[in-house]
Structure 1
Amino acid sequence: MFKKNILLKLDKYFRTFFFIYLGIIFYLSSLTSVGNTGIFNFAHSDKIIHFVEYSILAVIGYIGFRKYRNYKIKLLIFGVLFAFSDELHQLFVPTRVFDLVDFSIDIFPFVILQFIQNPLDINTIKIKGLYRNKIYELFRSIINDIDFRIKKGGEFTVWIRDNFIYYFYKGNYFYKTKCKKCDPKELKKEIYLDLKNFLSRDISKWGLIYMTRPIKKLHYMQGSLNEKRTKLKKDYLVSREKAELLIKLYNIEKKILNTIDKNTKALYINIPFCPTKCAYCSFTSYSLKTFSKYYEEFISCLKKEIKKKLSNNDSSSIKIIYFGGGTPMSLKKEDLKDILELIDNYINKNQLIEYSFEGGRPELFNDDKLALLKRYGVNRIAINPQSLNSSTLNKIERDHSIQDFYNAYNKTIKYDFDIINSDIILGLPGENYMHHISTIKKLLELKRINNITVHILSPKKGSKLYQKGYDYNKSVSKSHKKIKKILQKQDFEPYYLYKQRHILDNLENIGYAKNFRYSYYNIIMISETNEIIGAGTGASSKILKGEKVITQRNPKGLVEYIKTIKKEL
């Protein structure tokens, strides 16, 4: 590391020597004979001299221009042009000739250079100066393996000041970039490109996009689809692969939304209880083992809130109902019946285009509850194993077996729900590429499953997994890509996606559907095109005021929610 730091400090001298060395090469090429002293009189000695000569040039250039963006490809282009001109000018030197073999040997060190990775060793980065908070939020969300800071110091510092971005490494001035416009968008782009160079890697295929709903970028963009595609790649540095995915989903979303009236509303009901809390979970959920004493009060408050909100809204406009959580199947049979009956008193189930129930944990599925759901009009149900690897289920504290999942599936198909969804998570502890592929293939063997959501683990501070700390397997991106191909071969097409901060490899969660078995709720929840009435702990209501979306959130805390509902109702 000491030697690397010394070389970084001496880069300007290497740049000077680079041009001096060019002159030396040109001078040697002007001589009528080189290498006839007897020292180099062996087979192919001239070829070896060429290789050594240009290898030295490549190394000097590599050190001298290391801090500049795209320096390797620029050095290659320069090397090709210089080597060509060097051979060309030898046509005018007696006894010398233009030799394509020599030209190929000359450029070979620059080709090798393209495959050498030389990242700076950076573990902490401090952001200071103009728009530091916005820049901090972006980079801490898309680069998982570096600790970004605002207050504490870091071994690498980014300082935005006076139309320049200054970089300091190990306390010493390192580099600076001039900004054309010092607005947040331009600054993010410039810093992204510089860090990509310093770290010698692609930071994110999503470029500067890190928010939950990437597709909303397309909603606000003007122009044709081609123009939007270009803006994604040029203005937001999104890769071609992700830009094409987003355009595809945008087209699917438009077709689906054209079938939904703009006045259509959704009712979302959050059930916060779970049999146990999974080790990866940071959502608003409470283990019944610990919080069962609040169960009855919660059910009472939830019924009051649903009744109040349905009374205050035109029930004929509610055409989508979604039970989420937590684990809705954790409701007792009589309470589930009461809530379904209450909703049925206000909403005609024949007007619904979707009635979803995130059953969740398979060990809770039974015929009594499934029969109730079918009777009251539920047409989409989710059985979520997350993984079909027994050791993984133990590590994430799911408290159910693989056989529980198969039992839940076999019970569910008897009731002929139109859509059966299953979720899986990539990046769980102990899992690798083979586990991921095995899980998806086992799911696809169950022919009635026609809706699959592939999640990527997003380690959150509120989860047990984060607090314990663990190293995820580096095959997540490979698995994600392969699973997409497997699903598409089986006629599953992606129809919605969302991202999360700190998501592994800065990937995305994608919902896939077969035979157009989409979830309308997922579409409007991500696109924010329709109003949502939220009830239950942590539920959000979405109110549209022209182009503006107003979010009203219920308290996340179970006790706080109960107190709030009792006070208001």
Structure 2
Amino acid sequence: MYKIVLQNIENKYDFNELTKIFISEGDYELYTDTEFAQSEAMACDEKDTFNVITAGGFSKNQVKQELYKKLSQITGKTPKWGIHTGVRPIKLVCELFDKYNGNEELVRDELSRIYLFSDEKLNLAVNIARLQRQILKPAPQNSVGLYIGIPFCPTRCLYCSFTSNELRTEKVEEYLSALFLEIEHTKLKMNELSLYPESIYIGGGTPTTLSAEQLDRLLTKIEESYDLSKLAEFTVEAGRADTITREKLEILKNHNIKRISINPQSMKDETLALIGRNHTGKQVEDAFELAHSVGGFSINADVIAGLPQEKLTDFENTLTKLISLNADNITVHTLAVKKGSKLVDIDSAYHIKRENVANDMVKLGYSVLKHMGYEPYYLYRQKYMAGALENTGYAKSGKESVYNIRIMDEHQTIVALGAGGISKAYFPAENRLMRVPNVSNYEIYISRIQDMLDRKTENLFTGGLLC
């Protein structure tokens, strides 16, 4: 058990997040010097106790640097994102580009010297930030990103902690009725403020767990409710291969949906069975062929590096197969052991045990996809990721997702509907965000729908909000 004492520090949160990257949560205790002086731990002769000593005037980043160096000495680890523990490293890089008026040399210097980014992650982050600034201008005034959540799945995956629920057919209609009330409410409020969606993203869950008739009804409701004349992108996560049919794909096409996701996570049948997905790699191939035959879709595919029992060759085979299926986007996720997942109950330290293989897979993914003409264009991180790595979206030129870039950039209001949806009001004059969450449980969402509408009225749709 390590006992870590932070001198002259009151708020431990950021330092705890950094420590978790090096050491499993149950294997250390983190104290402020005041807490340590008052604790029983001080009386113990503990050889693994060490201080992070800071003189007055040290910045938080300087203290994190000191902690990083001590933890590196103890564990032998050198996490590639340095002292940065946030979800959005690309946002940091873009802010530095603004700070230094586009001077890339100064940006790189600060990321290396202050944040301790490795050369690998520094190059990745700077290249993504540069690409984003080239392909996407600031969000148009009065535009929003619109997210609509369908919180149902055929089964729950081993690693999943999302607010998705195994499908109960009798509850879907109740959920849609509540969702339609929220659509109607946001329509009225957006019209009052002359807001319009620049992008729409229907996610989940698995939206194609809806029947063809329900899916058609939802898309019709959206078209009737919002001004789509300036819509740049409309995405539907088709998701699981076992929910995709020709009829549903034709409905998407008839509603002018141009972007879909078909997400295998792996193309290895044994892995799919192990993680709880009731479909095969062949069904994924069939879903791609079906989508291509219907025509008109840009297709994203999600894969996960570090899945249980997978080897590097398994991951390479998955990428090779998806490239051969002509996926326009491939998003490489790193396995995260999330609280509330089945995997965390099995082994809460699994992400630490798989960090080396996950790192090898992520590096291989970059090499293979770059070689085949895919460029990394957006990136984000999560807690408890194997190797404290990242999720990276790769795209063929011109196939980058507007919504994905905007939601990570956080300079546009996101209006999120449905159970688990988290709206974010952006106030540009103050460069400030306000979170306006819906409840996660879909049954509570149904019963408290009026509360969800009131939250949006009071907190999201206000006079200072001009996107």
Q: Which TM bucket (shorter chain)?
A: 0.7 to 0.9
Contact 1:144 1:505 in 2 (8 A): no
TM-superposed CA distance for 1:161, in Å, is 6.8
Contact 1:499 1:508 in 2 (8 A): yes
Cα pair distance change 1:141/1:262, threshold 3 Å: farther
Root-mean-square deviation over aligned CA pairs = 2.5
AA paired with 1:218?
V
AA paired with 2:341?
S
What is aligned with 1:451? 329
Q: How does 1:5-154 map to 2 (within 5 A)?
A: 124-127=2-5, 130-131=9-10, 133-143=12-22, 145=24, 147=26, 149-150=28-29
Of 325, 335, 339, which aligns to 1:461?
Answer: 339
Of 73, 87, 109, which aligns to 1:212?
Answer: 87
What is aligned with 1:420? 299
Residues 1:190 and 2:69 are matched in the alignment: no
TM-superposed CA distance for 1:517, in Å, is 0.2
Residues 1:396 and 2:275 are matched in the alignment: yes
For 1:528 and 1:473, the matched residues in 2 are separated by: 29
What is aligned with 1:555? 439
Q: How does 1:224-303 map to 2 (within 5 A)?
A: 224-258=103-137, 260-288=139-167, 291-303=168-180
TM-superposed CA distance for 1:145, in Å, is 3.8
What is aligned with 1:362? 241
Cα pair distance change 1:158/1:409, threshold 3 Å: same
What is aligned with 1:487? 369
What is aligned with 1:476? 358
Contact 1:360 1:384 in 2 (8 A): yes
Q: Say which structure, 1 or 2, has more relative contact order (CA 8 Å, 6+ apart).
A: 2
AA paired with 1:276?
T
Q: How many residues align?
A: 434
For 2:138 and 2:11, the matched residues in 1 are separated by: 43
Of 372, 388, 391, which aligns to 2:251?
Answer: 372
AA paired with 1:556?
S
Q: How does 1:508-523 map to 2 (within 5 A)?
A: 508-523=390-405
What is aligned with 1:108? none
TM-superposed CA distance for 1:505, in Å, is 0.4
TM-score, length of structure 1 as denominator length: 0.72
Q: Secondary structure, in 3 states, of the residue corresponding to 1:215?
A: helix
Percent identity, please: 32
What is aligned with 2:462? none
For 2:324 and 2:232, the matched residues in 1 are separated by: 28
TM-superposed CA distance for 1:304, in Å, is 0.8
For 1:534 and 1:175, the matched residues in 2 are separated by: 45
AA paired with 2:342?
K
For 2:293 and 2:139, the matched residues in 1 are separated by: 30
Residues 1:498 and 2:380 are matched in the alignment: yes
What is aligned with 2:182? 305
Cα pair distance change 1:188/1:201, threshold 3 Å: same
For 2:251 and 2:135, the matched residues in 1 are separated by: 29
For 2:434 and 2:376, the matched residues in 1 are separated by: 28
Q: Secondary structure, in 3 states, of the residue corresponding to 2:395?
A: strand
TM-superposed CA distance for 1:138, in Å, is 2.1
TM-superposed CA distance for 1:184, in Å, is 2.8
AA paired with 2:343?
L
Q: Secondary structure, in 3 states, of the residue corresponding to 1:324?
A: strand
Cα pair distance change 1:137/1:404, threshold 3 Å: same
